[in-house]
Amino acid sequence: MKKKEKALVVLSGGQDSTTCLLWARKEYEEVFAVSFDYNQRHRKELECAKAICGEFHVSHKILDLTQLNELAPNSLTRADIKVDEDAPEQGTPNTYVEGRNMLFLTYAAVYAKGLGIRDIITGVSQSDFSGYPDCRNVFIKSLNTTLNLAMEYEFEIITPLMWLDKEETWEMADRLGGLEIVRDRTLTCYNGIMGEGCGHCPACKLRRNGYLRYMERKQNG
């Protein structure tokens, strides 16, 4: 199959967006990546993203959104707010950053248009959306329409993981030949520990359970 021309991947340095980068490299001739500095507590995320792009010779840009932290206090950017270990009964968990995906994708779109790119790839998933409203398909479709109207341009926001759970995301990384790089060199942990992570934050639990389920299924053929 002939590859498509070029795409921009929104890359956080975590499991999902890195799997999307692997996917994009297979689908497109030329892949660009963009990451955001929003004063996340774990700046290692950005280093992971940078290192992964270096490894794959992908052009990588980091954009500054550091004021988001002032407007939307949350446990990912503020050291004085403790990460919720379990999902709250109501509302969004305190790891949710108000408006984050909308801002990221909007900035990504402005950058993409400047590069003559229509396809923007993001690793959001409705299956494991952790209660984040801006990971849902309906939001992505709505923003896609809005961006097209705002800039008179035919963007396509592509979400390869939208209907996959974590087990299937591991399977995808493996199929793309990137299981080790995703397992060892990405950062998903809310406590900022690369690879396997702390093991007890919600992001680690989700990632690890998916990995174990996938490995078990793989071993049983």
Residues contributing to the site for Zn ion (CB under 5 A): 189, 191, 197-198, 201, 204
Residue among 48 and 189 whose Cβ is closer to Zn ion: 189
Question: Closest distance between Zn ion and the C-beta of residue 181, in Å?
Answer: 19
Between 93 and 197, name the residue whose CB sits nearer to Zn ion: 197
Residue pair 217/54 in contact (Cβ under 8 Å)? The answer is no
Return the number of the residue (30 or 84) whose C-beta is nearest Zn ion.
84
Instruction: Kindly state the smallest distance separating residue 200's Cβ from Zn ion, in Å.
Output: 6
d(Cα 38, Cα 14) in Å, to the nearest integer?
A: 15
Judged by CB, which is closer to Zn ion: 41, or 60?
A: 41
CB of 86 to Zn ion, least distance (A): 13
Smallest distance, Å, CB 193 to Zn ion? 6
Which amino acid appears at position 67 of this protein? Q
